[in-house]
């Protein structure tokens, strides 16, 4: 009898030991899963403010019935699914949120549905997706329109997102600042679809570029009065002091009939500059009257910094043979 009692005691102790170990393992696995979800949520929150935090709803598309779909109350960690009568048919807890998706897990069943809802700008339409537990992949389900409560009436308190596409540009000191509030240099997007965003540049275009570095600030303002900012540097370099290069294409003298109009000789001269564009002028100007004797013609090439080079040649007036006829 003693031997039998000891054997049964040993069996019971063994069963209790393994049960305790299994329970501890399950708790550790559950804790590990919870910590993983919390870490994912914490890492996500470091990079952006969750788009649906002010509250949001998702309405099935196509559908004019606003009672059909999902709703997240402001600052809530739960999402409710409603039917056509407005009754709550399922409840979901929010697992995590990214810029494009709200990840959900059903709380009202022993075999919870896992899915994700599309988010983004106001009015965005996308597919809600269900998780296929066999393949561990999300699959398209139904289309929904995203509606952020933060865009209703005067509720919008979010400034437009403004991005300066360049950190700096270089312009000649003394030149005028161009209009930089263009998509080449800056873009702005608003969280509420349909809002107009106005971008203003400061200092304004036309301002003289100073020597050295100055900051250009772009402000983007939406219909609700929210304003976002970005900035870039404008570096004013020292004006170029090198004069243009001019190829004196006419050597020697040209002849024209006395009393005729002076021709335009500027196209006979090729010019170039290492800094800016070049303007060619002729003196005396084309169209002037050719007078008796030799006329000195000067072709001048001038860049935008005032540097210039020139070439000279002569035009000799000749008397036509018929001028002396009786």
pLDDT above 70: residue 314: yes
Question: Phi/psi of residue 239, each to 5°?
Answer: -55, 145
The 10s digit of each residue's pLDDT in 45-83 is 323 344 555 678 888 887 655 556 898 887 788 999 988
Instruction: Tell me the torsion sign for CA atoms 163, 167, 171, 176.
Output: positive
Residue 141 has pLDDT above 70, yes or no: yes
Q: How confident is the model at residue 21 (pLDDT cuts 50, 70, 90)?
A: very low
CATH topology of domain 245-320: Immunoglobulin-like (2.60.40)
- The pLDDT score that the predictor gives to residue 180 is 95
- Burial category of 192 from C-beta neighbours within 10 Å (exposed 0-12, middle 13-18, buried 19 and up): buried
- Does this model's pTM top 0.85? no
Query: pLDDT digits over 163-174, tens only?
Result: 999 999 998 888
10, pLDDT greater than 80 = no
In Å, how far are 219, 229, 232 from 165, measured between CA atoms?
14, 13, 9
Read out DSSP for 16-64? HHHHHHHHHHHHHHHHHHHHHHHHHHHHHHTT---TTTT-EEEEESS--
Contact 290, 260 (CB under 8 A): yes
The residue ranking higher by pLDDT, 102 or 150, is: 102
- The class of domain 161-237 in CATH terms is mainly beta
Mean pLDDT over 184-199 rounds to 81
The predicted pLDDT at position 264 comes to 95
Question: 84 pLDDT band (50/70/90 cuts)?
Answer: confident
The mean pLDDT value of the chain amounts to 79
Fold identical between 161-237 and 245-320?
A: yes
Q: What is the pLDDT of residue 257?
A: 92
Omega before 187 within 30 of 0, i.e. cis: no
> What are the residue boundaries of the structural domains of the chain, listed by start?
56-151, 161-237, 245-320
- The span from the CA of 78 to the CA of 20, in Å, is 34
Confidence of residue 116 (pLDDT cuts 50, 70, 90): very high
Q: Which two tokens stand for residue 131?
A: 């998780």
- Percentage of the chain modeled with pLDDT above 90: 41
User: Which residue(s) pair with 129 in the sheet?
Assistant: 116, 140
**In the chain, % of residues over pLDDT 70:** 76
Among 19-23, 156-160, 275-279, 306-310, where is mean pLDDT lowest? 19-23
């Amino acid at each position: 009898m003693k031997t039998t009692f000891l054997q049964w005691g040993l069996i019971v102790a063994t069963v209790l030991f393994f049960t305790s170990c299994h329970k501890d393992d399950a708790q550790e696995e559950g804790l590990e899963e919870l910590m993983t979800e919390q870490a994912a949520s914490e890492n996500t929150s470091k990079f952006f403010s969750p788009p649906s935090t002010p509250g949001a709803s998702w309405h099935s598309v196509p559908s004019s019935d606003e009672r059909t779909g999902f709703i997240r109350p402001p600052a809530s960690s739960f999402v409710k699914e409603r039917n056509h009568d407005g009754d709550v048919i399922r409840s979901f807890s929010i697992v995590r949120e990214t810029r494009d998706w709200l990840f959900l897990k059903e709380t009202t069943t022993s075999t919870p549905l896992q899915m994700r809802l599309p988010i983004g700008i106001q009015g965005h339409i996308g597919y809600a997706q269900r998780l296929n537990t066999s393949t561990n992949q999300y699959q398209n389900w139904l289309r929904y329109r995203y509606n952020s409560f933060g865009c209703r009436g005067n509720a919008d308190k979010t400034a437009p997102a403004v991005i300066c596409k360049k950190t700096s540009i270089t312009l000649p000191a003394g030149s005028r600042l161009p209009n930089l509030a263009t998509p080449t240099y800056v873009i702005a997007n608003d969280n509420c679809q349909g809002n107009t965003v106005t971008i203003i540049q400061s200092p304004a275009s036309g301002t003289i570029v100073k020597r050295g570095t100055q900051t250009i600030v772009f402000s983007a303002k939406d219909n609700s009065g929210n304003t976002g900012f970005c900035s870039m540097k404008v570096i004013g370099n020292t004006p170029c002091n090198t004069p243009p290069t001019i190829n004196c294409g006419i050597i020697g003298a040209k002849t024209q009939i006395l009393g005729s109009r002076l021709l335009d000789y500027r196209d006979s001269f090729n010019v170039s500059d290492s800094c800016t564009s070049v303007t060619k002028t002729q003196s005396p100007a084309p169209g002037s009257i050719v007078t008796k004797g030799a006329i000195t013609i000067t072709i001048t090439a001038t860049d935008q910094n005032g540097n210039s080079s020139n070439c000279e040649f002569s035009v000799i007036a000749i008397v036509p043979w018929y001028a002396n006829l009786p």
